Structures are given as C-alpha cells and as structure tokens.
Structure 1
C-alpha cells in the first residue's frame, strides 16, 4: 500500500459520511486522478467496498496501527526565552489561560492516548504536579545541560512503538492527534525556513538539504509506528553514544541515506506555533501571565518606559557565570546581565560595584547604565561590531597587553582583596560532598600551596587586578567615528592582588602551551622580564589552574559542564607546579 492509499483509507476510517471522490481530494490535496487510482487499488486489495465501506482487512490494519502512547520532550533550558526562561520551563508557559504542556496532554487524551511519558530536566520539580493531575510518567534527563533532546529521546527509546513524539514548546490551535495512524510521519509546516535541513518532495519524502531558502519548517511532532521504531531505536542508541551528537536534535536519528525513513505530514503554519522567545509568546498572547517579569519591570524603571517599548529581545551566548540578553528601546541597543546559577555564592556584587566606581571614566571600559550591588543585574550600552580578542593573533595580543599594562600602571586601590589561596579553599567548600573528583587532588593542592612562599617573597606591589583578564573579556569594537577601539569588560572577580596574576589568567584561559606563554610574557614586559618574575608567573599559572578547576567542580555540581576547559585547568596546576619548581632550582643555582 502506498501513501495516497493510506491517506484515503484513513479518511474513510475517520469519516463515515463520504459522498464522492471530490471529498477525498479536498481532504488530502491529491488530484482526482490519484484519488481514483488509490480507491481502485483499495477495492481490488479488499480493503473497502465500492461504496467506501471498510472490510475486515482494514479493521485488522487499524487495530495494528492504533496509537498507543506519547513521549513529550521537556528537558531543556529554553535559553531563548529570556528574561523569563530562568523562572519557568517553556512547557509550563501560559497561553490563553492554558498551560502549553497541559493543552498537549488534553489533546492526546481526547484522542484516546493516556499513556504519556514526559522527559524532564531543567526545573524538573515543577512538572511533578502533572503526575497527579494527568497520570503521566516523568523520566529525568540528568544531562540536560550538556546534551540536546536526542539524548532525552534515547532515554525512553524502549517504549517507542506506535508512539507520538512531541516537543513541549508548541501551541496547536486544533487537535492533530488521532485514534488512527496508518504510517510513520514527521510534521513540517508550509512555512519556509533557511535553517531547516529538510525539504518535502513530490512523494511526500523529507530529503536532507542545506542552505536552501525553500526548506520546510520542522515542527518537531512525529508519529512512529512499530515497524519504523526499530530503525529509530537503533539510530538513537548509536548516535547517543557518539559525543559528536551531544548537541544534536533527535530528528538526526530519522535520517538514512540522505532522507528521513518516515513520510512528511504537512500542516498549515497558522495551526502550530513554536514558542522560542519572549516576543513570540507576547505576539501569541499579550495577556499571558507568563509574561510578567521583574527584569523587564526593572528596565522600564531605568529607562522610564513601558514594557511594550522593549523590543528585539535576543539571548546572547551563555557565559560561564552569567546569562545576558540584548534588547532595544527607541532603536538603541542595550545588554542586560542576569547572574547565573550559584553566582550569588561566587561573586560579591558590592565589591564589583566598588570596582566600577574605581575605574569610572578612566577609559578601560564603559560605565554601566545600571548596576545593582545586591542582585548583580547590570545594564550596559551595546557595542557595535564587537569581537573578542583572538589569543592567537599577535596584533590582538599586543593591543591587549598594552591596555593591561596601562591599567596596572594606574595602581588603583579598592578595599577588598582577591586572595588566590582563600578562593581555592572557598570553591572547595562549595562542593556537595567536599571531595574532589580528582584522585590526586590532595597531593596537587599541597604542591600548589607550597608555591606561596616564593610568590610572597617576590610580590612587592599589589593594586587593583582584573583577575579574569581573558581574551573573551578584551572587546574590540567600532566607535561612532568608525575607528576600532578596545576595552576590558567583566570586572566581577576584580580585587587587590599582584597584577602579574592577570598575565597568568590570560594564558590558561587561552589554553596556551609554554611557547605561547613565554611569548605573552615577553610582549607584556617588552622582552625585559626578569627571570624571577617569569617564574612567579609560572607559579600563578599553577595556582590559577587549581583555582578554576575547583570553580569548575562546583559548577559541575549544579549541572553545568565546561568540557575540556575543566580538565585543562587541573593539568595547568600539576604541570606548571613542576615547571615552576624546576625553574626555581635553576634560578637559585645561578
């Protein structure tokens, strides 16, 4: 049986009052010629009678094809929903007085689907009430922060068989689910989208394409029958074990030889809306209770405007400590910083506020438009054509070190210190079980602590130090006159310290090898660095490596993973301890 025949048979199963072939043509969008051919084949193969009555063969097919369960994917952060995504998962947003995921569940129930599994992760506790309210099953994706929904679906792959797979962030104007499905399909919209990777051909197949403006918008809803579930399960198992697919969507598991092994189901774009951003929610339901945001109210107070005046809200790249978003008021762009998870334990916002007072109008960076020393919320003006420094571009590095020298030469003072060793202990104290994941941590920490005598002996002058002077915080931008400028941003960790710590921080964030480290030291000191200072910087590299390794261990306990960065920091601690000790011996011998 081909797809037109399946579609015609399904219409007969769903509709008992069929007049003629034109009815099928209007329902399926097939030509009368294709409809007549399909009906003829169904009659000849004993599925229907001449007057469109179902025969036993059809009833048996319907019984085998009956949808039996559904999986709803609801584990992700919903990062693009700023500024409300921190407070509530997208699945629990309200539209027209109804919660998104509850609407999906009710639509499934009305189609006879009551066996529903929801894969949760971010703010998983907020979904618990659904167990009592709708008798659903919750499966927790513990790796939601580091893996995409391919992993979520892989967790429940064994239950996929005559199953609907549904994203939790869609609003369906009408019920698309049915008590009868005769083949596997994946839903696409008649809208076109350049960043989609599928295109529907005349055979209702979904072909993999790239960079094509005619691509169909991928809705994310799918039906997988028992037969096709075998291929999907095998693909999910294979891809989920491959780290290259950690950030992949589950749809990647539907592809075989350049096209999906399921057919396309086309839906009108007006009938399904995917809610990814605050403004999409506002456009769909401007009265939604989910739109309420203390952050937006704060922006209104700062700029003396109304919420409707705030537009073009866009999430920026998630930083290691904060989440930030871009917004516009009267065609002027600004950036709002929202502190990330656990930041209140890591950052003293009053200290940060004091640093900005100390550097105000000195030209090292723009002063914030707003900064709250209690919450850490910060608003700054957006820089045009901004780019971070390239740690492997010599011209960039020279300019960065020049600005750093100028800052250090100012000998600015504040009332608080950034004590490297105390911070190492502090981050360690935040670990849930107070134990490192590294087997030789105690030995490594003892070695790092032993470097204190050397650096204390050779750190004669302390002043305001950036501490986080990494390439990403050196920003090149174009000013109003079209000239490229450079500023140093993100002063959260700044405090009194030996300024040479900033050189070490630049090195380890850049994952420099020793050759690049020595080159950076030569650039900063204009090739006149005393050997004792070079050794001290090696010490700081080792100390800072353990510092940020401990920081990463704390963040890991919050479900935040930094990939190779974390283990590289621990390697700096061990390797540069050995390098520093060897160089000390040579120095004292000479």
Structure 2
C-alpha cells in the first residue's frame, strides 16, 4: 500500500466510516484521493463493501503496531550552554516537567511500556527513571567521542516496530499512536538552513544541497520490521568506518539521495526541539533552569538583566574548558566554564594572579570578570580575530616575535610551573590505573634522565605562558594596525621561557625540520647548540607531561585522538634526538 491508502485505512480503522467528505477531512487527503483509495482498498481486501476493515486489515495493524521506544539521551547537548554544565538535556524542564518524563508519559498513553534510554553524559541523573517508569538504561561509553549513530548501534536489535526519539523534544500533542502502518521520519513545515532534506510531492524526504534549506528535522522516527532490518544492517556497516564516528544515526536512513522512510510533517508550533538556552527561554520563560549559575554570574558581573543576555552560541569545546559566546547590551563576550576534572588540574587563584600581573600590558584578552574560586571567566570578544596558522611561516615569525617580547618583560608571579612535578601529579590522578602504553616506565625513565641537562642550561625563570600553542595566539586588527594577543593563561607560571617554544612545537605536531625553523624564528640573533638541545629536552619532557594529562582526561571519558599519541611519541623521539646531539657534540670535542 502507498502512504495515502495507509492513512485512509488507518482513519477508517480508528474512527469508523461516515462519508467520503468527513474521511477526507480526517485523513488530510483530497476527496479524489479518498474515493480512489477506497476502491483500491476494497480490491486489495482491506475493507468490505460497507467500508469496514476486514480481518486482513486487522492483522496488518497487529503486525505493524508500535511495541517499544528508544530515547537517545547520551550526548553533551553542547548547544545548551550554559545549562549543559549542570544538567543533561533530557532533564530540562518545560512547565516544571522534564522533557524525557513528558516523552515517557506520552508513550505510556499509547500503551508503550518497553522503553530503552541510551545514556552517557551525566548518566547517573537518569537512574531514577528505572524505578519511576520501568525503563531500561543502556550506557554509551563512547558518548564523548562518537555521535548518536553509535548510540543506536547499542540497541539495534530493538528497532523493529519502534519509535526512535531524541530526548530534547517537547511535543504539545502526543506524537505517538497505538497503530502505525508504515515507517516515517518527522519533520516540520519550518524551513531550516541546517536541514539537508525536504519533502517532495510524493511525501518522500529527498536531500538538498548544503545550506539551501529544507524541512526542519525533528528527529522522531518510526520503523516497521522490514525497514528496521535495513537500518540495523546499515548501522553496522557505518560504524565499522571511523569516518562516521561523528555521524547522526539518520545516516542509516538514506538510500542515495533520499530516505527509505516517508515524511511525517508536523506544524513547527506543535513540536519543538530545544537545542539552546534561548529556545528554552522562548517556550518557558519561567523555567527555573534558566537561572543557571553562569547566567547569574553574567548578570552580576555586567550589571545586566537576564533578558539582556542574547545570541548565546557554543564555541568549539576546548581540551580543558567549555566556552560560549553571548551578547550583552550590544557588546559581545566569551564566558569560560571549566570542563571535566579541571578542578584537579588548574589552580584558579594562581591563574587570577597571572592576569593581575598582565593587567594593562595589552598582552592578553580583556578580562571583564574572573572568579579565582571556580574558574568562571568573562572576556571581551575580539571581533575579527584569527588564530595563528602553524603552517604559515609568516604567522609563526610574528608569533615568536610577540612571544619573545613578552618574555623580555620578565614579569613575576609567586608560583612556578614545575614540568616534572606536574608530570608526576598527572600520573597520580590515574588512581593506580597503569598507563595504556606498554613501555611507559622505560619512556618515563629516559625523559627523567634529561633533567640534569635541563637544570644545567636553564635560563632565568620569568612568567611563562606554558600553553603557548598556535590556537592561543590571536591576530587582531585595531585602528588599521595588526596586533597579537595571547589567551588562555591557565597553566602559566614562573619557568624557563624557552619551554613556550617547545610547547608551540608539540601542539603544532611539528617534525624536526619545523622545530628547528621555529627555534630560528624565536632566536633571530642565532641559537647556541646548548640552548637548542635544551629545547629538544623540553619537547621530550612536555610531550610526556601532556601524554600523562591526556591519560587522565581519557579516564574521564574525554578522548583526544592523534594528539595524545603524538605527545607520547615526542617523549620517545626527542629523548633519542637529544642523545644523538650530545653524542655528536662529544665527537666534535
């Protein structure tokens, strides 16, 4: 049966037949479609001459009736900043009712009690639903590094006659039914530039060119058995390819340029996907969750009202923090919220002391607020700024000139960044878990053996950035002149300034030729062999330092891919390079 006949048969089944005109109104199809469908349904044996469902129709309804539901609730909900630092998105409340509870109740209304919830971020917050509603929680351990395609993979054996539902949906009317006759995917009549599908005349969902706009994708889907089998197989295939680690599960619905399921179009006012703080404020301006701690800090720091905080946009998740951009009183700001485990890694009082030392030096970003207790920070947004491109040598030379000028100020603070001490400290945070690297102990011993050379050749200790990586050099233009600001001073402290040169190299994933070229850009007057070898030592030591840091973050569920592997390689490779250089020096003497 086609979609039209299915709709009309379902309307007859649920409401009984009165006349064709009423049937047209109830089914949403034209009178001509109704008349043609009735004839064909009779011919196919689904309705009798009195236009009542036959046993064949009843059996069809039984076979395709919804049996279960899967709610996807594993993700960070990154666009929900700043609320997502305090609560998972499925537990956002509209009219004092958590979104996920409303979904569960609507499912119960149509007798669906077999409900699986895939959780990850703040998974413990959902535990009460097991007792409250009899749901089953399925944990996605990879929620931080992979998208919801991998969540659906965990429950692919339950896709038959199932609803798949995102947890951040608010539906005014119940979108679920006791009976379904075909697979569908829900979109709204709203045009959305982020959507890559549109509904054609045949109610098919066809792909559209990127950024050309399509029907807003709501994300609720229903799958009958034959389509569920196809989707399950497709999910297995996609998950074998790391290219799809960041993919949405909807990728499994596509066959070339269209989805294999029919469009289910709803009015945009009836179903709302709550992705952002402002969307929640729009649908429920009295929600207690709008009074999140971060928003209250902004109001106090900038002497603003909540409604004056607009255009909240998540920035790329950093390795240490979550940050978001917002506008207040016509001016743009960035707020930093410390990430997972940061309280173990960063001394916020020391960071505040660094910013005090930098005050009015025009070296860093302009601070509007910083809290030395919890690390919340508000900075003025630098319009039109761009980060350093480590592959562009002109950029690199300018950054090294700026870095050298900062070092030459010889600023002082009362704390030191101890590379080897921090290395050991990060290792203690593993809490007895052995390193993931088989030869870690040998690598560590080799790196520690470089310490005497470093101590013998270390220069005067001054305030050093420590995290002087390309992304932290911002090129800004003011009054027609280009300048460079250094941002993110969380690790800064007293240290040999040449550590910053090493840090730039390892974050840029430079090879030795690029390392030597960077050293030449910093030391325009020329660099002695002893200093160059010392920087190689720092590369080895800092490589192991950040490798240990990555191992700690990995235990928290935060994965850094190639970066962590390359840091460990720096520890091994540059220990070897130092030995070769020292041997060469000995032979020359």
TM-score where L is the length of structure 2:
0.98
**Separation in 2 of the partners of 1:214 and 1:400?**
40
| Structural mapping, 1:540-555, within 5 Å | 540-555=538-553
**Separation in 2 of the partners of 1:555 and 1:519?**
32
**Separation in 1 of the partners of 2:419 and 2:408?**
21
Q: Secondary structure at the match of 2:235?
A: helix
Q: Secondary structure at the match of 1:562?
A: coil
1:361-388 superposed Cα distances (whole Å, 9 cap, x missing partner): 1121234111111111111111001111
Aligned residue for 1:586? 584
**Separation in 2 of the partners of 1:223 and 1:548?**
46
In the alignment, which of 530, 534, 551 is matched to residue 532 of structure 1? 530
In the alignment, which of 552, 559, 566 is matched to residue 564 of structure 2? 566
| Structural mapping, 1:105-504, within 5 Å | 105-211=104-210, 213-479=212-478, 481-504=479-502
**Separation in 2 of the partners of 1:493 and 1:212?**
40
| Structural mapping, 1:512-523, within 5 Å | 512-523=510-521
1:529-549 superposed Cα distances (whole Å, 9 cap, x missing partner): 111111111111000100000
**Separation in 1 of the partners of 2:497 and 2:249?**
48
Q: CA RMSD in A?
A: 1.2
Q: Does 1:2 align with 2:2?
A: yes
Q: 1:214, CA displacement in angstroms?
A: 4.2
Aligned residue for 1:15? 15
Q: Secondary structure at the match of 2:459?
A: coil
**Separation in 2 of the partners of 1:97 and 1:88?**
14
In the alignment, which of 481, 489, 506 is matched to residue 508 of structure 1? 506
Q: 1:309, CA displacement in angstroms?
A: 1.6
**Separation in 2 of the partners of 1:546 and 1:213?**
46
| Structural mapping, 1:40-59, within 5 Å | 40-59=39-58
Q: Please, which moves more after superposition, 292-301 or 141-150? A: 292-301
Aligned length: 588
Q: Please, which moves more after superposition, 421-430 or 286-295? A: 286-295
Q: 1:52, CA displacement in angstroms?
A: 2.2
Q: Secondary structure at the match of 1:264?
A: strand
Q: Do the aligned partners of residues 165 and 322 (structure 1) sit closer, same or farther apart at CA in structure 2, a change above 3 Å counting?
A: same
**Separation in 2 of the partners of 1:569 and 1:469?**
15
Unpaired runs of 5+ residues, structure 1, are none
Contact 1:356 1:367 in 2 (8 A): no
1:487-525 superposed Cα distances (whole Å, 9 cap, x missing partner): 111111011111111000000000001111111111111
**Separation in 1 of the partners of 2:519 and 2:459?**
18
Q: 1:212, CA displacement in angstroms?
A: 5.3
Contact 2:189 2:216 in 1 (8 A): yes
Q: Please, which moves more after superposition, 468-477 or 291-300? A: 291-300
Contact 1:538 1:580 in 2 (8 A): yes
Aligned residue for 1:34? 33
Q: Do the aligned partners of residues 520 and 527 (structure 1) sit closer, same or farther apart at CA in structure 2, a change above 3 Å counting?
A: farther
Unpaired runs of 5+ residues, structure 2, are none
Q: 1:478, CA displacement in angstroms?
A: 2.7
Contact 2:194 2:213 in 1 (8 A): no
Q: 1:20, CA displacement in angstroms?
A: 2.0
TM-score where L is the length of structure 1:
0.98
Q: 1:30, CA displacement in angstroms?
A: 2.5
**Separation in 2 of the partners of 1:483 and 1:34?**
68
Q: Secondary structure at the match of 2:85?
A: coil
Runs of 4+ in 1 over 6 A off after TM superposition: none
Q: Secondary structure at the match of 1:392?
A: coil
Contact 2:187 2:264 in 1 (8 A): yes
Q: 1:409, CA displacement in angstroms?
A: 0.7
Contact 1:334 1:382 in 2 (8 A): yes
Q: Secondary structure at the match of 1:468?
A: coil
Q: 1:27, CA displacement in angstroms?
A: 3.2
**Separation in 2 of the partners of 1:312 and 1:517?**
41
**Separation in 1 of the partners of 2:90 and 2:15?**
33
Contact 1:383 1:478 in 2 (8 A): no
Q: Secondary structure at the match of 1:478?
A: strand
Q: Secondary structure at the match of 1:54?
A: coil
Contact 1:192 1:213 in 2 (8 A): no
Q: 1:527, CA displacement in angstroms?
A: 5.7
